[in-house]
Structure formats: C-alpha cells, structure tokens
Amino acid sequence: MKAQLEPIKGLRELSEERTKLVHTFGALAELGHEVSHKQSFQDTVRTSMHLLLGSLAIMRGGVARYSPFAHEFNMVAARGLGEEFPLSLSLCPEDERQFLSCGLYPIEAEHARVLPFFQIYDRSLERSKVALAVPLVLRDELLGAVFLGEKASGEPYTSYDKEIICAMARHIGVAIAQRNMLAELERRANENRKLYEDLRMAYTDTVKAFAAAIDRKDKYTEGHSVRVGKYSELIAAELGWSEDEIEGAAVSGYLHDIGKITVERKLINAPYRINAKESVELSKHPGAGYDILRPIHHPYEGVPLAAKYHHERIDGRGYPDGLYDREIPFIAKIVNLADSFDAMTTDRPYKRRRPAGDVFEDLQRNSGKQFAPEVVQALFRGILKELYGESGGRPFRKLLGREYMESEGLAITLKNALNGSAGVAPITLTSVD
Ligand SMILES: [Fe+2]
Ligand SMILES: [Fe+2]
C-alpha cells in the first residue's frame, strides 16, 4: 500500500510546485513591468516589495538603498517592521565585503551573528522578526538590501523559496541601479549647466569690460558702446528674436567699436569735425574690430560681422566695402541704426544732441537709404510701446532721459511713421497718453 501512495504524494507536491512557479512567474512579470514603467522610484520599490512579500506569503519586510558615501543602508520601503526599525543602518568594511560576496543570496539573520552588522542590529532585527537579509548586488556593486520576516505559515524558508527571493531581489536591484544612474546623470547635467553658466558669465563680463574700455578711450562719447548694446538688444527683442539671439545682438552692440582701440586717442577725442585724412584713419576701425573679434569663439556668430559692417548703408554708400542691402548681415543693420541713433541723441564735442522730433523724422527719411526699414520700424515700435506703457520696464526712458521721451508729439510722430511705412501693417495701438 505504502509503495502505491508514494507516487500520489509526489504528484501533489509537483502540482503545488507548479502552482507556486506560475504564481512566481506572474509576480516576476509584474515586477519587471514595475521597474520599467513606474515613474516614481519610491512607488516602484514599494510595489516591488509588496509583490515579493505577497508571492511568498511573507508577513513583513523592507527595502533599503545603499549609500556608498555614507556606508549605510537607508530604508526606502517597509511593511510591518515596526516604528522602531532603524531608518538607516551603517556597515563596516567587513560587512560590505560579506554582503558583496553573498551576491543576491539571502543571509539568515540567525546564523550570521559573526558579522558586525548582525551583532550591532541584533535587537532591532529580532524585535522586527527579520529572518533574512538579502544583499542587492549587481555587477559587483552593493546597491541595497531586502529584509524579510518569517513566512505566514511559520515554516522555514526552503532553498526553492530562496531562489524565488533571489530572482525578485534582482529586479529590485535593477530599479535601484536605474535610480542611481539617473541621479548620477542629473548630477553631471547640473555640473555641466553650472560650468556653462560660469563660462557664459565670464564671457559677458569680459565683453562688458571691453565695452567700458572702448568708451574710456573716447571721453566725449562716454557710455556709447554700452548704449549701442542696449539699443541693439531692444531692437532684436522687438523683432521677435530668441533669447540667445537677443543676447548676441547686445554683445554685438557692446563690441561694435572695439577696433577703435587701434585708432589714436587724439583722433577719437578731436573736439572738431575731423578732416578727410583723419576720417580715412578712423574708418579703419570696423576692419580692425573684425580682425580682433574673428579669432575668438563667440556664442553668437554675428559679433565680428557686426563690428565689420556697422558703417555700411543699405544704399551701398557706406564703408568699408560699400555693400548693398541684402549683402549686409542683419545684425550689422541693427547695430548700424543703434549706433547712429545714439550719436544723434547724445551730446558730441562739436554739437548738442538733436531734438526728438528731428531725430525720428531723420531716421524715417533715411529708412531704405542708410537704414533697413524693418529695423527702423522695430525701434519706433519699441519706443511707442513704452510710451503707451505696453512694455515691461522703461529701458528707453533710462537711456534717453525723461525729457526726451516726454517731448511733445513724439507718440504721434512715431505712430504716423509706422502707419505710413509701406508694406507694414498699421500699428494697433490707438490711445495716446
Ligand atoms: Fe563705429
Ligand atoms: Fe559707434
């Protein structure tokens, strides 16, 4: 009889094992999904832990992430371990070595008291009824640990159970490895961003220092380069350029006259209208500026071109090359207008600044001759918007002064100029202050 019963019992065990196996595969599939789809690391670990506890009917457990800097496990998720279970557990080098050598294989707390870790946390582990500690090791790196209480049945863990734990722990290890990799990537990206910002700041500071140095040389036009930079920036913004391009326009304005550092100081500071010979000398500054700026790697490629062509006119009567409209780089057209506008609106040694109405009429008259019409319109639009309070801040008022911006009929002059411009949609602004 006994001999006949043996195969029946074997069959039942086989069937139980098969059910368990199917269940485990299901849990593993879910774990894999969790690891690859969940956005939050905390959620992934928590769900993975519940799946592990559930698939083997384990009462309590927890998952910790290892910090190689602090040499400690930090708990990420726990169930049923009790309030007193430590949130972080430190490791000595010997513990680390042992955990690493165990790989993913579960260590029985009861039999591991020779390790300092199990001696130090003996009471905590016992109080929380932790039976197994599973080091999470992937590619020879200790990533964390899973702590498991006893099974609900009270039966000891079989080697088959431990195999399952091992497989599921690997998935949790992958989740932690992914998280670590992401954290490292974020850290490097932040570091790069910071480096780039530092570099950019150093570049901008250098540009401003140069602008100040150029302006120092010309005592009558103090602040000219800085103002041309600001006007160029405002015009570019009005034209809808991107943030980087606007910054590029500002830099181009700051540096447009850098070639003047090669021109004799007495010529720049001449308190009279310079003669033809002196004029030839001075007219070399765009080319000199280009030669100075060209070898430098600028974040904005138009910077040397703006220096070279800021005295060109779209009717071809400018210098140094007498280029026509479309031959002139757009940035040079912006800086050209900003440059002339500043010359007209500031006092010079041989003449005082011109009245606002006079200046804007002149710009309008020369639109299409010296200046590019779309650039003139952008400047007018920017000033008009500020007069109507439709722009943030009052940069033009700061540059031109209150008196200038409040001169009579300014808004009407600008509005008429804009509405009269051929091929341009009439401005929508209707009210006048
Ligand atoms: Fe110039
Ligand atoms: Fe200039």
Ligand 2 centre distance from Cα of residue 381 (Å)? 23
d(CA 342, ligand 2 centre) in Å:
8
Q: How far is the CA of 199 from the centre of ligand 1 (A)?
A: 28
Residue 353: predicted pLDDT? 87
CA of 225 to the centre of ligand 2 (A): 7
What are the start-end ranges of the E strands in 263-387?
A: none
How far is the centre of ligand 1, averaged over its atoms, from the C-alpha of 245 (Å)?
21
Ligand (nearest to CA of 227): 2
pLDDT at residue 36, rounded to an integer: 63
pTM of structure: 0.66
* pLDDT digit string, tens, across residues 31-84: 666 666 656 888 888 888 998 899 889 999 999 999 999 999 999 999 999 988
Q: Around Cβ 251, how many Cβ atoms within 10 Å? A: 27
What is the C-alpha separation between 387 and 394, in angstroms, rounded? 9
User: Which ligand lies nearest to the CA atom of residue 253 in the structure?
Assistant: 2
Q: How far apart are CA 321 and CA 309, in angstroms?
A: 8
Residues in the chain with pLDDT < 50? 1-7, 422-433
User: What is residue 55's predicted lDDT score, i.e. its pLDDT?
Assistant: 85
- Give me ligand 1 centre to Cα 312, in Å: 10
Residue for token pair 């341009």: 424
pLDDT for residue 17: 66
Q: Would you state the pLDDT for residue 137?
A: 94
- Sign (positive or negative) of CA dihedral 66, 67, 72, 77: negative
Q: Report how far residue 194's alpha carbon sits from residue 205's, in angstroms, rounded to the nearest whole number.
A: 16
pLDDT at 313: 97
Asked whether 287 and 310 are in contact (CB, 8 A), the reply is no
Task: For residues 228 and 250, give the distance between their C-alpha atoms in angstroms, rounded to a whole number.
Answer: 8
